[in-house]
Amino acid sequence: MACSAAAGVEATALLSPRCPAPSPPDGRSRRRLALASRTRHRSLRAAAQRPHKSTTGADPLNNRANPRSDEAAVSAEKERQRKYNDGDGISNLQLEDLVGLIQNTEKNILLLNQARLQAMEHADKILKEKEALQRKINILETRLSETNAQHKLSSEGNVSDSPLLLEFDVLKEDNILLKEDIEFFKTKLIEIAETEEGIFKLEKERALLDASLRELESRFIAAQANMMKLGPRDAWWEKVEKLEDLLETTANQVEHAAVILDHNHDLQDRLDNLEASLQAANISKFSCSLVDLLQQKVKLVEDRFQACNSEMHSQIELYEHSIVEFHDTLSKLIEESEKRSLENFTGNMPSELWSKISLLIDGWLLEKKIAYNDASMLREMVRKRDSRLREAYLSYRGTENRDVMDSFLKMALPGTSSGLHIAHIAAEMAPVAKVGGLADVISGLGKALQKKGHLVEIILPKYDCMQVDQVSNLKVLDVLVQSYFEGNMFNNKIWTGTVEGLPVYFIEPQHPAMFFSRAQYYGEHDDFKRFTYFSRAALELLYQSGKKVDIIHCHDWQTAFVAPLYWDVYANLGFNSARICFTCHNFEYQGTAPARDLAWCGLDVEHLDRPDRMRDNSHGRINAVKGAIVYSNIVTTVSPTYALEVRSEGGRGLQDTLKVHSRKFLGILNGIDTDTWNPSTDRYLKVQYNAKDLQGKAANKAALREQLNLASAYPSQPLVGCITRLVAQKGVHLIRHAIYKTAELGGQFVLLGSSPVPEIQREFEGIADHFQNNNNIRLILKYDDALSHCIYAASDMFIVPSIFEPCGLTQMIAMRYGSVPIVRKTGGLNDSVFDFDDETIPMEVRNGFTFVKADEQGLSSAMERAFNCYTRKPEVWKQLVQKDMTIDFSWDTSASQYEDIYQKAVARARAVA
């Protein structure tokens, strides 16, 4: 019992968490302990063995109850109670209790052994970890002692004894040498950059000298050509040579006479001195005779001098006569040269001249200085380019207008002309009043038609903000033209002048609203009222001038009112000789307003506010563009692809109207003014160039970089240009993406343009601020005509990612200047730019890079292809640039198409008449 109690206490102490675990015994002690435990276990089992099973049913190995022995345990308990109650079972009960206690003790001993074994295993692991840690500590202590020793040696100056320190010193010296090499290379790079900059400056100077040399050569050739025109050169040069001989002879004689005269004066002085000396000395008669002889010789000299003097005067008179004859001959030659040059008048001057004559005649008629029949005859002469009319104008130039008028009226006017009289009525014209592409069309198409022999006139509002310096001979006529508006008659001042060689009339309303004195062309709250007034006044000008116009060509919604006004008002007054052509340059803008506003200019609201006339298809208002489509004889838009697009959703609600009037509707691709947009003559460029000599393009690229403070370290770095109005139509989100994509591809980007939408303008101002310190990106958020020329000339690529583009002129101008376009396939862009990688089209017409979807992925792909071609295939790129520069985008082809439809319309009108 004492032993079992001690074992139980020991087991309890071992299992209690409060008691500290005993120190693990060594291996020999563990073996002795296990042997003693097994011996004691066997003796206890032998002493306690009984013939019956244990009543507890416990498993000494796992300490779990056995469910099968429940009934036996219950019966054993009952039997024990019975024996106890009988008095005979006391000893038996004590023995059973002792056996149970022994069994529990054995179980606890087993558990204790297991716990000890586990503890010893953990102790072994801890000892192993402790030994490993101790080894690491020893290693670290060794290294620390070595480091301290090295440090001590270093402090005592014994550095050379440590191999690590020696290696450190070597590395330190290598580092110093590398730093010196880096500094050396930096210096060399700076020198190379300076050398490249010097070379670039020399190349720039050479390009300038080449341009100057070419200009001098052209002047020399022109001078030679002028000399060739000066008539009989043999007689001319013979007279000049005789005159030179005569001048040389006269000069020699004058010089000889002057020498003789000097000698004579010197000799006379000596004789006077000698005579005075002789008189003072009273010398002999021989001396006096000698003096007389000398005086005779002096007299002979004086006589000879007089003869020479008279001969010299005669030679001078002959010289003066020759000079007069020379000037007379020269005047005759100059007069003959001018006469011949007038007979062969070509280029810009004839257009300017005939425009002045046309305006002069119309001014006389409006001022009622000449009769209508006389004006008609003189206009017929202008149509025929009659040389007599021109010579009379030049002969009386600078005299009173009355003399010119009398000279004109005395002339007989034979025959008629096949040329047409065309009047354009528009809100813009380049360069005098330019907002968008419409202005370029008016001047470009007008000049092209004028060159084909037609009489072309332009009628514009007189804006207070127009570029007056671009108008030649601007003057106001001494007459006021009255026009109807809002139930009253208002006076209009009429100004005339020539713009780009075309005769232009400017209408200045004397209306209290000051319609065109607003310091801007569009964007006023009363734009509808302003331009209905102008349309009526323009037709009134044509009507009161008594002109028999063949074609009245109006443009966009601002002058679309001309068509219904002409047929509903002026045709009833007998002014019905013309046919109306209407061009819509952009169906996005249609000029809608309440129907009652039509009454301002005298139109019948009830008559026009109908679905088949001017009522808008969607909003129940009246639509100016729809009215022009219905009432015009010819309807055009600015490219064939756009004409197809507007017959569907691109028509912005007018597609059904266009389908009804499809027989008179067609698309004609615009051209560009190749006189204005010509890199070989462009006055805005630093250096002029052409397709055969592209060095000037590189010089202009360098000049623009310097002007805009762009990086110039790499002359071949690609430069991307974009010139546009920042509106939704132009794809502003794609323009923004193009800026960042260019930076990603390592190029440079220049944007020129502004937005009428404040939110878009602010957005791009933010982008400009973001790239303010980036010398590869520049955003100029305004329009600058001179700078636009420089950007076209400097850029290698040109971005036009429009959502829709009726025609587009910038891609044509860019190609003219050798800038390869990157465009979206829509409208006129699809008709003028063909993808360089598209193998389904002939190679000779591939001229740019295109994409279809208006998303960033499509634009990125096109830009990447363009950059790869530029950087990896420079020769192929050069050939592409040269091909683009030689494409004919002039107005000649487009003007021929307009001429054809004009003549067909006029022929139909004459057939009906």
The letter for the amino acid at 19 is C
Q: How many CB atoms lie within 10 A of CB 208?
A: 14
The whole-number average pLDDT for the span 383-412 is 67
Q: How many CB atoms lie within 10 A of CB 331?
A: 10
DSSP string, 100-125: HHHHHHHHHHHHHHHHHHHHHHHHHH
Task: Report the alpha-carbon distance of residue 181 to residue 188 in Å, rounded.
Answer: 10
**Crossing angle of helices 695-708 and 785-794, rounded to 10°:** 130
Q: How does residue 682 score in pLDDT terms, banded at 50, 70 and 90?
A: very high
pLDDT at 774 over 80: yes
Any idea what DSSP says for residue 688? -
Q: Which of 530, 538, 539 is nearest to 511 (CA)?
A: 530
List beta partners, residue 665.
635
Where residue 551 falls among pLDDT bands split at 50, 70, 90? very high
- Which of 100-109, 429-438, 688-697, 743-752 has the least mean pLDDT? 100-109
Helix axes 732-745, 758-770, angle to 10 degrees: 10
Instruction: Go through 681-692 and write b for each residue having 16 or more CB atoms within 10 A of its CB, e for each that does not.
Output: ebeebbbbbbbe
Rounded Cα distance, 515 and 222, in Å:
49
Which pLDDT belongs to residue 12?
40
- pLDDT, one tens digit per residue, over 803-839 is 999 999 999 999 999 999 999 999 999 999 999 999 9
Distance of CA 871 to the CA centre of its chain: 20
228-232, 257-261, 762-766: which range is least confident on average? 228-232
- pLDDT of 128 reads 83
Looking at the predicted structure, is the pLDDT value of residue 417 above 60? no
Q: Which of 77-81, 106-110, 556-560 has the highest mean pLDDT?
A: 556-560
Tell me the CATH class for 694-889: alpha beta
Length of the chain: 913
What do you get for the CA distance between the two ends of the chain, in Å? 149
Angstrom distance (rounded) from CA 506 to CA 584: 22
Buried/exposed code over 411-433 (b: 16+ C-beta within 10 A; e: otherwise)? eebeeebebbbbbbbbbbbbbbb
pLDDT score of 103: 78
**pLDDT given for residue 141 in this prediction:** 74
Q: Is 762 exposed, middle or buried (0-12, 13-18, 19+ CB in 10 A)?
A: exposed
Confidence check: pLDDT of 143 > 50 = yes
Q: What's the predicted TM-score (pTM) here?
A: 0.59
Of the ranges 125-139, 378-392, 493-507, which one carries the lowest mean pLDDT score?
A: 378-392
Amino acid at 778: R
As a whole number of angstroms, the distance between CA 423 and CA 552 comes to: 5
Q: Which helix or strand (DSSP H or E) is residue 241 part of?
A: helix 233-281
pLDDT bracket for residue 375 (50, 70, 90) = confident
- DSSP-assigned letters across all residues of 139-201: HHHHHHHHHHHHHHHHHTT-GGG-HHHHHHHHHHHHHHHHHHHHHHHHHHHHHHHHHHHHHHH
CA distances from 722 to 521, 714, 778, 790 (A): 24, 21, 11, 12
**Lowest-confidence region among 403-412, 735-744, 903-912:** 403-412
- Residue 229, C-beta contacts closer than 8 angstroms, at least 6 positions apart: 337, 340, 341
- 482, 490 in Cβ contact below 8 A? yes
Q: Average pLDDT in the 605-632 region? A: 94
Q: What is the number of H-type helices and E-type strands within the chain?
A: 27, 17
* pLDDT averaged over every residue in the chain: 79
pLDDT band per the 50, 70, 90 thresholds, residue 414: very low
224: pLDDT strictly greater than 70: no
Helix extents (H) in 344-386: 348-366, 372-384
CA count, 13 A, side-chain hemisphere, 846: 16
Which sign does the torsion angle of CA 759, 760, 764, 770 carry? positive
Listed in sequence order, the residues at least 6 apart from 554 whose beta carbon sits closer than 8 Å to its beta carbon are 424, 425, 426, 535, 560, 562, 563, 580, 581, 582, 583, 628, 632
pLDDT at 413 over 50: no
Evaluate if residue 259 carries a pLDDT over 50: yes
Dump the DSSP string for 86-98.
Answer: HTS-HHHHHHHHH
User: Radius of gyration (Cα) for the chain, nearest Å?
Assistant: 56
CA quadruple 330, 334, 335, 336: dihedral positive or negative? positive
Distance (Å, whole) CA 227 – CA 207: 30
> What sign does the dihedral 95-97-98-99 (CA atoms) show?
positive
Q: What is the DSSP letter of 807?
A: S
Amino acid identity at 232: P
Secondary structure (3-state) at 501 = coil
pLDDT > 70: percent of the chain: 66
Listed in sequence order, the residues at least 6 apart from 21 whose beta carbon sits closer than 8 Å to its beta carbon are: 14, 119
| Six-digit token string for 470 | 């671009």
- Does 226 have pLDDT greater than 60? no
Could you check whether 421-667 and 694-889 share the same CATH topology? yes
pLDDT in tens, 855-886: 999 999 999 999 999 999 999 999 999 999 99
Give the pLDDT of residue 347: 40
The DSSP secondary-structure symbol of 497 reads E
The CB density around residue 404, as the number of other CB atoms within 10 Å, is 19
Check pLDDT > 80 for residue 604. yes
Tell me the two tokens of residue 439: 């202005």
Name beta bridge partners: 551.
422, 579
pLDDT band at residue 208 under the 50/70/90 scheme: low
Q: What average pLDDT does range 51-59 have in this prediction?
A: 41
Residue 57, pLDDT score: 39
Per-position DSSP letters for 521-576, written without gaps between them: SS--TTHHHHHHHHHHHHHHHHHHTT---SEEEEETGGGTTHHHHIIIIIGGGT--
Q: Which residue has the higher pLDDT, 791 or 305?
A: 791
DSSP assigned state of 53: P
Q: Going edge to edge, which strands form the sheet with 820-824?
A: 777-780, 748-752, 719-723, 797-800, 820-824, 849-851
Domains of the chain by residue range: 352-412, 421-667, 694-889
64 against 465, higher pLDDT: 465
- Whole-number Å distance between alpha carbons of 616 and 627: 9
- Residue pLDDT, tens place only, 168-192: 777 777 777 777 767 776 776 677 7
Q: 466 with 433: CB under 8 angstroms? A: yes
User: Is residue 552 exposed (0-12), middle (13-18) or buried (19+ Cβ within 10 Å)?
Assistant: buried
Looking at 1.10.3720.10, 3.40.640.10, 3.20.20.140, 3.40.50.2000, the CATH number of the domain 421-667 comes to 3.40.50.2000
DSSP state of 420: -
